[in-house]
Amino acid sequence: MSEETKQPTAEETPETQAGAEQTAEQTAQEQTEKTGKGKKKKEKEKTYTLTQQQMEAAELAAKQLESVKDQFVRLTAEYDNYRKRTAKEKDSLYQDAKADTISAFLAVYDNLERAAASEGGEDSPHKKGLEMIFTQFKDILQKQGVTEIEAQGKPFDPEKMNAVMHIDDENLGENEVAQVFQAGFMLGDKVIRHAIVQVAN
């Protein structure tokens, strides 16, 4: 062999160089991890010393925060109650005004009912016209939530009916409504006009 063609030594082989680089990287990484762990330990170990004055100020601030939170919760509850109460009052006022308005129209209902009952024969165009108007009026009341109190043949209910006459009738039960003189009406659960009835003894 000539001097020019030298074989690479173990130190100069690519495998050795790659191994050396890998070892250097691992060592650097291990040192970084150790340093990171050391920093974390140092961070955990940090403590703060407060003076008596600072402790008192912190306690006062905590008490003030608790007081403000309590006031906020109370204020929120009061507002919620106020909102519900005003909504209820508003609805109550609306229902009262609606009941008063409908009550004023019930006289028209009575007149239409009497007119439809007394007008000529079944084929009379006037009777048919009145019946159509009466039906339309009843539909309007129904759409507004108004219902007629069922009284005929029912037990007498003093909360919904006014008895103006009594009759002795063996065919009817005691306190049973024998005849309705004027229809009564309810708006939801509220009586806007009591039924005027005759009651059997």
> For position 172, what pLDDT does the model report?
81
Cβ burial 56-90 (10 Å sphere, 16+ → b, else e): eeeeeeeeeeeeeeeeeeeeeeeeeeeeeeeeeee
User: Over 50: is that where the pLDDT of 3 sits?
Assistant: no
Q: In this predicted structure, what is the pLDDT of residue 49?
A: 79
Whole-number mean pLDDT of the chain? 82
**What's the topology of domain 148-201?**
Nucleotide Exchange Factor Grpe; Chain A, domain 2 (2.30.22)
How much is the pTM? 0.58
Percent of the chain scoring above 70 in pLDDT: 76
CA 88/CA 80 separation, integer angstroms:
12
The domain spans of the chain are 53-144, 148-201
What amino acid occupies position 132?
M
Encode pLDDT of 124-147 as tens digits.
788 888 889 999 999 999 999 999
User: How much of the chain, in percent, has pLDDT values that exceed 90?
Assistant: 53
Kindly report, residue by residue over 38-80, the tens digit of the pLDDT.
555 555 667 777 788 888 888 899 999 999 999 999 999 999 9
Residue range 53-144 forms a domain whose CATH class is alpha beta
Query: Which pLDDT does position 55 carry in this prediction?
Result: 87
- Residue 22 banded pLDDT, cuts 50, 70, 90: low
Is the confidence at residue 19, as pLDDT, over 70?
no
